């Protein structure tokens, strides 16, 4: 059963005012102390020592928690950047993102999408047809918060991912974020890769394709990355979407399927068929 009292815990680490890392969790009261400690250790375990770590703990005050299942995960065994980028375009197109919008997104993530040229703390929101950016603050982006695995689902996904050799906490966290985002109003798909120089993996995801993971979305050593949420502009209620992403508590209580493939065509064929019926 889901306990009625959940707490949102957000961590933000910075050095000289520059964002270094952040994390968000949603836990029951008895896990607050342990989770806070984990997040502080995470903030300090990065290559650069932060000079400020902020941890914010908010009670949800009984706001009802939405329960979802995690997206299915497919790890694509592609061996280089070009193959991964090309497969990620195919996933986005199958989910309904136009070629123009996917090119704009890839270019921005390569360059560093903030107007200053750096990475953003949050995500871009992009019109899936035109590539137009819709997030209110282009320097910061939209930070998704208030999502987590239930204790049981955490154990289950940890087991599956470990079996597949995906032991990094980033995969587990990205899968939970992408699962919340995929069910957002008007969301069509997401594209992401890390801004950490030593982590080159990324993903394209949607409710129809699931979370499709690629090992090489950027050259090693580059520290540009970020996230793009593609939306359908027709009927879009931006305030409702922002409120869902930032405020609505979501707990993942069951996992999807987890598998690997060297050939995406089967997955995408099924996606296209199911989108048109
Ligand atoms: N909400 C919105 N955007 C975010 C959030 C959030 N909560 N957290 C991070 N971002 C954006 C922000 O622009 C970061 O610069 C960018 O995403 C990358 O964040 O193995 O580790 O925490 O399957 O570096 C993807 C592959 C890893 C995982 C993603 O992201 C895998 C990752 P990072
Ligand atoms: Mg990062």
* pLDDT 10s digits, 231-276: 999 999 999 999 999 999 999 999 999 999 998 887 887 675 444 3
Arithmetic mean of pLDDT, 68-91: 96
Here the tokens at position 156 are: 């289950």
**Average pLDDT of the chain, as a whole number:** 93
Q: What pLDDT sits at residue 272?
A: 52
For the CA of 73, the closest atom of ligand 1 is 23
Q: What pLDDT sits at residue 134?
A: 98
- Minimal-distance CA residue to ligand 1 atom 15: 226
Interval between CA 199 and ligand 2 midpoint (Å): 9
Task: State the burial class of residue 98 (Cβ atoms within 10 Å of its Cβ: 0-12, 13-18, 19+).
Answer: middle
Which ranges constitute the DSSP H helices of the chain?
32-44, 81-95, 99-111, 151-163, 169-182, 238-247, 265-276
CA distance 150 to 26: 9
Q: What pLDDT sits at residue 231?
A: 98
- Minimal-distance CA residue to ligand 1 atom 27: 194
Here the tokens at position 59 are: 């009670």
Between these two residues, 126 and 5, which has the higher pLDDT value? 126
pLDDT confidence of 4, banded at 50, 70, 90? low
Q: What pLDDT sits at residue 2?
A: 53
pTM (2 decimals)? 0.94
Task: Please name the residue that has the structure tokens 């995500």.
Answer: 123
Q: What pLDDT sits at residue 67?
A: 97
CA distance 142 to 151: 27
Q: Which of 194, 204, 249, 259 has most ligand 1 atoms within 8 Å of its beta carbon, as the pocket-test mutant?
A: 194
Q: At what angle do helices 169-182 and 151-163 cross, to 10 degrees?
A: 120
CA distance 135 to 118: 16
Between these two residues, 270 and 51, which has the higher pLDDT value? 51
Is the separation of the CB atoms in 12 and 54 below 8 Å? Answer: yes
Interval between CA 236 and ligand 2 midpoint (Å): 29
Q: What pLDDT sits at residue 20?
A: 86
Neighbours of 251 (CB within 10 A): 22
Pocket of ligand 1 (CB under 6 A): 24, 119-123, 141-144, 168, 170-171, 174, 177, 192-196, 199, 201-203, 213, 225-227
For the CA of 24, the closest atom of ligand 1 is 7
Interval between CA 247 and ligand 2 midpoint (Å): 22
3-state secondary structure of 221: coil
Residue 230 has pLDDT above 90, yes or no: yes
Q: Which of 11, 123, 246 has most ligand 1 atoms within 8 Å of its beta carbon, as the pocket-test mutant?
A: 123
Residue 96 has pLDDT above 60, yes or no: yes
Residue 1 has pLDDT above 60, yes or no: no
Percent with pLDDT over 90 in the chain = 82
Q: Which residues surround ligand 2, an ion (CB under 5 A)?
A: 195-196
Residue 87 has pLDDT above 50, yes or no: yes
pLDDT confidence of 188, banded at 50, 70, 90? very high
Here the tokens at position 88 are: 């990620």
Arithmetic mean of pLDDT, 6-18: 93
Between these two residues, 174 and 262, which has the higher pLDDT value? 174
Regarding beta strands 258-261 and 73-76, do their DSSP bridges make them parallel or antiparallel, or are they unpaired?
parallel
Please tell me the number of the ligand nearest to residue 193's CA.
1
Chain centre to alpha carbon of residue 58: 22
């Amino acid at each position: 059963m889901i306990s009625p009292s959940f707490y949102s815990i957000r961590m933000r680490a910075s050095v000289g005012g520059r964002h270094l890392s952040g994390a968000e969790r949603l836990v029951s009261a008895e896990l607050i102390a342990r989770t806070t400690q984990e997040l502080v250790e995470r903030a300090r375990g990065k290559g650069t020592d932060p000079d400020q770590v902020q941890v914010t703990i908010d009670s949800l005050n009984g706001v009802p928690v939405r329960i979802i299942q995690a997206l299915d995960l497919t790890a694509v065994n592609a061996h280089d950047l070009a193959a991964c980028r090309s497969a990620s375009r195919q996933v986005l197109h199958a989910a309904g993102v136009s070629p123009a919008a996917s090119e704009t997104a890839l270019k921005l993530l390569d360059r560093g999408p903030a107007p200053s040229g750096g990475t953003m703390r949050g995500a871009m929101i992009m019109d899936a047809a035109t590539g137009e950016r819709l997030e209110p603050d282009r320097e910061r982006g939209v930070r998704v918060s208030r999502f987590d695995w239930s204790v049981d689902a955490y154990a289950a996904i940890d087991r599956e991912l470990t079996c597949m050799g995906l032991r990094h906490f980033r995969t587990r966290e990205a899968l939970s974020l992408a699962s919340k985002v995929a069910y957002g109003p008007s969301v069509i798909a997401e594209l992401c890769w890390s801004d950490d120089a030593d982590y080159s993996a990324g993903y394209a995801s949607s409710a129809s394709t699931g979370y499709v993971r690629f090992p090489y979305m950027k050259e090693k050593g580059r520290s540009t990355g970020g996230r793009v949420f593609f939306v359908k502009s027709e009927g879009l209620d931006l305030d409702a979407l922002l409120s869902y992403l930032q405020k609505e508590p979501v707990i993942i209580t069951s996992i999807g399927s987890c598998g690997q493939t060297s050939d995406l065509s089967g997955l995408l064929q099924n996606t296209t068929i199911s989108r048109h019926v």
